[in-house]
Chain A
Amino acid sequence: MSASKSVKTIVSEGVWTNNQSLVALLGLCPLLATTTSATNGLGMGLATTAVLTCSNGTVSLVRHLVRPEVRIPVYVLVIASFVTIVELVMQAFFYEMYLVLGLFISLIVVNCIIIGRAESFASKNRVDLALLDGLAVGLGSTLVLTTLGGLRELVAQGTIFYQAELLLGEAGKALTLNFGNDYQGALIAILPPGAFIGLGLLIALKNLIDRHARRRAPARAAKAPVEAQAHPA
């Protein structure tokens, strides 16, 4: 087995450079369907992160016991168990949120991100790294879900984190931003086309940030040699 990745690489790849929602474009179904508000996106993202971290850890623990021929059914069983746990926990403590997200909680079982990480990372790495990878990838996805949800919510109804108390309790109300009650939003943003357009814009934004970062990186590296000063980029 090849050398394990460093902690720093795992975190930066999971959250940004190999962000499963923006780069790998995995798990699009919940991404497009549940991000009608920042609260929904955050709830969905946290539920996915919980399942992903636990399943990554478990898959890593049993990786030497499972024969390759039956690994996929085993992964699915592991994931399904954790999804059931998360679903019951949400039913008990975040009942309204559970009603809002509805079927999509159960559908975390078939989220490609989770089985993808189990297959490509957890089954080949130590438990601590697998847990960290699950957490990083989950947070990266949560970031996208929340941003897209906030964006769509803002365009459609002029609010951000509307009904945050469903997820965060009474303290969540402080998070809700409301930009004027007579705002006439574009309804299309919370309909399916808005999800696709919003996701496309987020991907474009990420590529733009990356391009700026790439342009700056060589300039910083090349400061030392004299030639670079003679021909500034």
Chain B
Amino acid sequence: MKTIISSPHVPRVNRVDRIMLDVLLALVPGMLAMTWFFGWGLLINLVLAVTFAVVAEAAVMLARGRSPLIAIGDLSAVVTAVLFAISVPPMLPWWLTLLGMVFAIVLVKQLYGGMGYNPFNPAMAAYVFLLISYPIAMTTWLAPGMLAEHSFTFMESLRLILDGTLPAGLDWDAISSATPLDEMRGKLDLHLTIDEIRHSPLWGYVGGRGWEWIAFWFLAGGIYLLWRRTITWHIPVSMLLALAICSGIFWSLDPQTHPFPAFHLFSGAAILGAFFIATDPVTACTTRQGQLIFGAIIGITVFAIRTWGGYPDAVAFAVLLMNIAAPTIDYYTQPRVFGHGREHR
């Protein structure tokens, strides 16, 4: 198929598939780190999620009487699937991945009109849908590699995901482990101080052991995206800055009950969310000023829910909340057109 490209005819064209390919490339280091720490589960989930998402996208496009090849070719369904696979626990049963992907592609994306029309980020909507519906499966994380009692082989991981059977002699209690944010919350609720909490092999330099390195490699991918100009700095910087400032204020007031800012930045999905999820061009704000507001409120919401809310991490909730606010923010932050004065009322 020939693609019509409008002027200006510059060598580098912002086509959707190229942007998506960039995003996928930028996710690779983080995914490798996750595979290193959490085993084969991520890669198996990745293959399953991409397959389900592509089949769902093709099915809906056929039902709508359009060409499925164009929809699949723009790789947006693949990016949704990859972000979903990264967000969910590595040993998620396959049918939850199937449910999540059908929900993301059919209900959240295609029912609203498909690529470019969906008000909500499909990957995050699917994540929240599963988190609310199946809280236990969605919060059962493995311990990172160097802390785990058992390292799963490829076949063991496959059997666990497809069939739900654990290797002989193991039960979930032995292999699962709280995420750093879970651990911090749980211990703070027991009125332990941060110093006491951090006397545990679970902790690394700033965040959880293993987890902080995953966040670091996603940060590297994010910087690659900035360098490629696939995303602009506004949303990630304002989101992370807001999160750092909020946590910094509370940390400086009482460093024993509020973790320091770097912990917030390098735990959970903060970095991944800032560079890869909140910056989704379809569901984020489009004006520069709007993007700063959009990112900042996500950062504040993440801190608020992590500190006082009912869930340990909140990037998905915060992003979805701001997705629905984005059109309003855009409306009030329209840039003034050069040569036109301010509106007089």
> Residues of A at under 8 Å CB distance from B?
184-189, 191, 193, 197
Partner of B107, one of A184, A187, A189, A197: A197
Which chain A residues lie closer than 8 Å to B250 at the CB level? Answer: none
Other 10 A-B pairs with CB < 8 A, given A186-B99, A188-B132, A197-B107: A185-B133, A186-B129, A186-B133, A186-B134, A187-B133, A187-B134, A187-B135, A188-B129, A191-B132, A193-B132
Contact count band on B: under 10
Smallest CB-CB separation from A191: which chain B residue?
B132
Interface residue SS majority, chain A: helix
Task: Determine the main DSSP class of B at the interface with A.
Answer: helix
State how many angstroms separate the Cβ of B42 from the closest Cβ of chain A: 23
Q: Give the 4 A-B CB pairs with smallest separation, nearest first.
A: A186-B133, A188-B133, A187-B133, A188-B132
C-alpha gap A6/B129 in the complex (Å): 47
Partner of A184, one of B129, B132, B134: B134
Q: B112 CB to closest chain A CB, in angstroms?
A: 11
What would 12 A/B residue contacts be, using CB atoms closer than 8 Å?
Answer: A185-B133, A186-B99, A186-B134, A187-B132, A187-B133, A187-B134, A187-B135, A188-B129, A188-B133, A189-B133, A193-B132, A197-B107
- In the bound complex, residues from chain A placing their C-beta under 8 Å from that of B134 are 184, 186-187
- A184 and B96 alpha carbons, distance in the complex (Å): 10
A191: chain B residues at CB < 8 Å are 132
Q: CA–CA, A184 to B135, complex, Å? A: 12
Give chain B residues whose Cβ lies under 8 Å from the Cβ of A197. Answer: 107
CA distance A185 to B134 in the complex (A): 8
* CA distance in complex: A185, B133 (Å): 8
Considering only CB atoms, which chain B residue lies closest to A156 in the complex? B133
A193 to B99 CA separation, bound complex (whole angstroms):
16
- Closest approach, in angstroms, between the C-beta of A206 and any C-beta of chain B? 15
Contacts of A184 in B (CB 8 A): 134
